[in-house]
Amino acid sequence: MLAPVAMAVSAVKKVRWRTRAQRHGIRAEGTCIRMETVRRSGGGRPTSLRRYYLFEFVTHEGRQVRFEDTAPDTTVPGDVFTVSYLPERPDKATVALPGDRRAQRELGCLLVFLGFALTAALVIAGAGIGVLSLFAGGS
Number of Cβ within 10 Å of residue 11's Cβ equals: 18
Residue boundaries of the structural domains of the chain: 2-137
Residue 105: CB partners within 8 Å, gap ≥ 6? none
Instruction: Say which amino acid occupies 52.
Output: Y
- Chain segment 98-122, per-residue pLDDT in tens: 666 666 677 777 778 878 878 888 8
pTM: 0.65
The four Cα atoms 39, 43, 46, 50 give a dihedral, to 10 degrees, of -30
- Chain segment 62-95, per-residue pLDDT in tens: 999 999 998 888 899 999 999 999 999 999 999 9
Single out the residue of 102, 109, 85, 101 nearest to residue 30, CA to CA.
85
